[in-house]
Amino acid sequence: MAEAIAPSPAPNQTPDHQAVQRPPLVLNKRTYGWIGNYVSSIVEAQTPIWWWLCMAVTVPLTLVLFGCIAYLISTGVGVWGNNHPVGWAWDITNFVFWIGIGHAGTLISAILFITRQKWRTSINRAAEAMTLFAVICAAIYPGLHVGRVWMAWFLAPVPNANGIWQNFRSPLLWDVFAVSTYFTVSVLFWYTGLIPDLATLRDRATTKMKKIFYGMMALGWRGGNRQWRHYEMAYLLLAGLSTPLVLSVHSVVSFDFATSVIPGWHTTIFPPYFVAGAIFGGFAMVLTIMIPACAIYKPLHDLVTVSHVDKMCKVIVFTGSIVGYAYLMELFMAWYSANPYEQAAFWYRAFGPYWWAYWAMMFCNVIAPQLFWFKFLRTHLVWVWIICQFPNMGMWYERFVIIATTLTRDFIPSAWGQFHPTWVDIWMFIGTFGLFFTLFLIFIRFLPMICMFEVKAVLPESDPHYGEKH
């Protein structure tokens, strides 16, 4: 798993031609047939033992999550450690954490699509699936945070039981719209991308059940150019629409904080800083999942090559540096504002009761990813996986620092207090990982985890003028 797979040089070409030749996106000269066969075989083969073993861990954790939710609803939201003054605690931390992870998928599929980054084709499917599952995990928390879950419909834009309408100027309502739109559009985008691949599975299906299942899901796709032409337009425009959407979602999440008057939250740097952090954490999670998946299905290394991992590590070091810049700028602005509350908020972050969370965040998000400046560490998968765990942890600490640390000490010392998580807090957080990985395992078992038709389209022979002299 650890060896670097070097891109093979372009064969039989004049030196002149070689100079402009990019390294191939698919290694070992794999054919259309091989790509279709191999990726489909992952879905078609007998369920492997490792899959059952993983499910044996993740399913019980998911059940723990559901148990905690049932306990919380039946007892009351007080089973969480949230209490005055820390009214937003682990629940909102976890919400922002999961939403942040859910950004990489749409970023890869939308922004890299319209910027014509062809290397995205082999990772977009799994990253989009990861996005959906992360958003599902995220949505659990604000849904429960409302306290009386049966009144969650108050969030919908209809007059409530007292005939009062929502406050459309509230960032919390913006958030409802932003997150639900993001989820819906991500599902549409993901499914649109799946249609041609579901047709592949339909055409290969051997049992009646599979034929019916994949046949229904593929909607009768034939792959005619009269279909592709609308399909490509739809996909391009979905990518164009998702690009501002993905940037807006975490901006809107950050408005929940930035539009308040709490010292430490009331800053204009929040939207770009949240978006950069989300991409940073999301890419780390994509690598966390994709590296083991490719280690299990080794031939996938021809599609998800070391060059892909290398590029994603560069994105991590870039966005990690933006995040680091934002941390330093926050400190500078706290000092420069000459506002004693603002200054105190940042002093308490670094040296207050949660100093360990702040320095863990600083180390994980700013210092650790700088290791990716070394090519050796970007191209050796074990190292990449280990280093990616720092952003994963660091981004959780970041949200905890922003939310809990800020709320523990705001203006008047008499209103200060500490937050302590209860066992429900802790098990719900662990449980969402169970749910996330369960959904992902189900995904790789039943749907193609590589976008086959897009990978086929980036092979050199897919160019209609392949082999012609210019």
Partner 1 sequence: MNIAGDPQSSTYGVAAEFDSASQLFKAAEKIRDAGYQKFDVFSPFPIHGMDKAMGLKKSLLGMIIFCGGLTGFLTAICLEFIPSSIIYPLIVMGKPTNLFTVPAFFPIMFELTILLSAFTAVFGMLIMNGLPRWNHPMFNWDRFKKVSDDKFFCIIEARDRQFSESKVKELLESLGGQNITRVQED
Q: Rule CB under 8 A: which residues touch partner 1?
A: 31-33, 36, 157, 159, 163-171, 173-174, 177-178, 181, 184-185, 188-189, 191-192, 196, 199-200, 202-204, 219-234, 237-238, 241-242, 244-245, 248, 252, 255, 453-454, 456-457, 461-468
Shortest distance, position 468 Cβ to partner 1, whole Å: 7
CA distance 384 to 280: 14
Shortest distance, position 106 Cβ to partner 1, whole Å: 11
**Residue nearer to partner 1 on the CB measure, 48 or 460:** 460
114: Cβ–Cβ under 8 A, 6 or more apart, which residues?
236, 239, 240, 243
For residue 371, the SS3 value is helix
Q: Are 448 and 39 in contact (CB under 8 A)?
A: yes
Tokens, residue 54: 């993983």
Shortest distance, position 253 Cβ to partner 1, whole Å: 11
**Residue nearer to partner 1 on the CB measure, 39 or 449:** 39
**Residue nearer to partner 1 on the CB measure, 230 or 298:** 230
**Residue nearer to partner 1 on the CB measure, 413 or 467:** 467
**Residue nearer to partner 1 on the CB measure, 91 or 454:** 454
Q: Which of 454, 447, 462 is nearest to 218 (CA)?
A: 447
34: Cβ–Cβ under 8 A, 6 or more apart, which residues?
none
CA distance 283 to 275: 12
Shortest distance, position 224 Cβ to partner 1, whole Å: 4
Q: Which of 32, 191, 41 is nearest to 109 (CA)?
A: 191
CA distance 320 to 110: 21
Shortest distance, position 189 Cβ to partner 1, whole Å: 7
**Residue nearer to partner 1 on the CB measure, 225 or 414:** 225
- CA distances (Å), origin 348, targets 258, 270, 286, 344, 422: 19, 19, 33, 6, 23
**Residue nearer to partner 1 on the CB measure, 118 or 314:** 118
Shortest distance, position 341 Cβ to partner 1, whole Å: 19
443: Cβ–Cβ under 8 A, 6 or more apart, which residues?
126, 129, 133, 449
For residue 248, the SS3 value is helix
Following DSSP, what letter does each residue of 187-207 receive, concatenated?
HHHHHHHHHHHHHHHHHH--S
Shortest distance, position 216 Cβ to partner 1, whole Å: 8
**Residue nearer to partner 1 on the CB measure, 277 or 448:** 448
Shortest distance, position 168 Cβ to partner 1, whole Å: 5
